[in-house]
Chain A
Amino acid sequence: MTPEELAAFHRRRRGRNYAMLAALLALVALFYMIAMARLTVG
């Protein structure tokens, strides 16, 4: 694997990791809001 390919790999992996982080944070926020909503609705 050439240095360019390795750099491209790191760039792709960084992108995937950020996407995963965003998805997990969104899930945390969503589950918190669902819990609050269910408490409000009863």
Chain B
Amino acid sequence: MSDSVMSNGAIRNGIQMGGAHAPLATSDDLQLDLSEARDWLALLKPRVMTLVVFSGIVGLLVAPGSIHPVLALTAILCIAIGAGAAGAINMWYDRDIDAVMRRTASRPIPAGRIRPEAALSFGVVLAVASTMVMGLAVNPVAGAVLAASIGFYVFVYTMWLKRRTPQNIVIGGAAGAFPPVIGWAAVTGSLSVEALVMFAIIFVWTPPHFWALSLYASGDYQRAGVPMLPVVAGARATRRQIWWYSLLLVPVSLLPVAIGMAGPAYAAAAGVLGAYFLYVMWRVKRDAQDESGVSLSNDAPARAGFRYSILYLFALFTALAADVLVFGA
């Protein structure tokens, strides 16, 4: 008797035994069910979620007025789960390209640990649940903005833009700019120019941040047929675009001062952080490269630029929250 037949017999015995072994139906079910709890957590893209949650918290902190701590915690949780749900649906939709990209091949769906339809169900349930809880427990405006951000990421970025245009992350980057707006709306129940300014900062920050990554991951995107800027326009044009968006980011980061939302302390922090951002991205632009723009330094400046861009946004929003909370500008 072969091993598989023996194991099928053991499984059927398990059904008859009941208790802990009861739900074992067929060996096929067992083979399909390779997921661990951490795989489901990975579907929520926890590393991306960190920045989302952080900027959402800053939106809550700088908003005028007050919110019950439990409702604030609920709002943060809904932002995190909503962002994670969008990430899970993204992984479901992009499973074909994830499988051919080195960076993403070990994700739970392409690695075969979670079935695509299970991931989709998981994402949709969490998206609906987080939006409903936000709308009912916190306020309808925050719920609506959360729903819009999930919809934007899934339908506009993932399904529409990502595979069609090298401007995908310029427009699609708006999805990542929503969290501080949601945080603001959770407290105030409305949207205002301050919330839009925080949105604008993340919106303009996204292209240099993501294109720095795509410079050294362009081989992956090329293999997957994703028209990221370095694939379509080349590394040299991408470095130029990174530089222009970095130049735009510095004045945009000072908008909170211009509208009276923040004061001199924030202005000083934004100035210093922005100046270093420009220095780092200037090094990306001036990276040693061959005639076709391919880096001769293994894209070391781009890697440094990507790392600093994350630190930059954390520090900038920390400065904004500190300025508003301490000086009450």
Interface residues, chain A, with chain B CB atoms under 8 Å away: 1-2, 5-6, 9-10, 12-13, 15-16, 18-19, 30, 33-34, 36-38, 40-41
Check if B36 sits within 8 Å of A1, measured CB to CB: no
Q: Add 11 more A-B contacts to A16-B37, A16-B40, A41-B71 (CB < 8 A).
A: A1-B7, A1-B11, A6-B7, A9-B30, A13-B33, A16-B35, A18-B37, A34-B137, A37-B70, A38-B71, A40-B68
A5 proximity list for chain B (CB < 8 A): 7, 30
Cα A37 to Cα B70 in complex, Å, equals 6
Decide if B74 is an interface residue (CB 8 Å cutoff): yes
Task: Assess A9 versus B74: contact at CB under 8 Å? Given A1-B27, A2-B3, A37-B68.
Answer: no
Check if A1 sits within 8 Å of B68, measured CB to CB: no
B68 proximity list for chain A (CB < 8 A): 37, 40-41
Check if B37 sits within 8 Å of A1, measured CB to CB: no
Check if B37 sits within 8 Å of A15, measured CB to CB: yes
The A contact surface, by secondary structure, is: helix
Check if A34 sits within 8 Å of B70, measured CB to CB: yes
Cα A37 to Cα B4 in complex, Å, equals 55
B137 proximity list for chain A (CB < 8 A): 34, 38
Decide if B34 is an interface residue (CB 8 Å cutoff): yes
Task: Assess A19 versus B40: contact at CB under 8 Å? Given A1-B30, A2-B3, A40-B68.
Answer: yes
Decide if B31 is an interface residue (CB 8 Å cutoff): yes
Decide if B77 is an interface residue (CB 8 Å cutoff): yes
A2 proximity list for chain B (CB < 8 A): 3, 7
B140 CB, min distance to chain A CBs, angstroms = 14
Task: Assess A12 versus B3: contact at CB under 8 Å? Given A6-B30, A37-B70, A41-B71.
Answer: no
B39 CB, min distance to chain A CBs, angstroms = 9
Check if B10 sits within 8 Å of A6, measured CB to CB: yes
Choice from B11, B27, B35, B77 contacting A30 with Cβ under 8 Å: B77
B117 CB, min distance to chain A CBs, angstroms = 17
When C-beta atoms are compared, the residue in chain A nearest to B38 turns out to be A15
Cα A13 to Cα B30 in complex, Å, equals 10
B30 proximity list for chain A (CB < 8 A): 1, 5-6, 9
Interface residues of B in 203-228 (CB under 8 A from A): none
Choice from A1, A9, A16, A36 contacting B4 with Cβ under 8 Å: A1
Cα A20 to Cα B147 in complex, Å, equals 25
Check if B33 sits within 8 Å of A9, measured CB to CB: yes
B65 CB, min distance to chain A CBs, angstroms = 12
Some 21 contacts from A to B, beta carbons below 8 A apart, are: A1-B4, A1-B11, A1-B27, A1-B30, A2-B3, A2-B7, A6-B30, A9-B33, A10-B20, A12-B35, A13-B33, A16-B37, A30-B74, A30-B77, A33-B70, A34-B70, A34-B133, A37-B68, A40-B68, A41-B68, A41-B71
A36 proximity list for chain B (CB < 8 A): 70
A42 CB, min distance to chain B CBs, angstroms = 10
A6 proximity list for chain B (CB < 8 A): 7, 10, 30
A18 CB, min distance to chain B CBs, angstroms = 7
Cα A37 to Cα B133 in complex, Å, equals 14
Choice from A15, A30, A34, A41 contacting B36 with Cβ under 8 Å: A15
B34 CB, min distance to chain A CBs, angstroms = 7
Q: Kindly list the 10 A-B residue pairs having the minimum CB-CB distance in the complex, ordered from nearest.
A: A19-B37, A1-B7, A37-B70, A37-B68, A33-B70, A34-B137, A15-B37, A12-B36, A16-B37, A9-B30
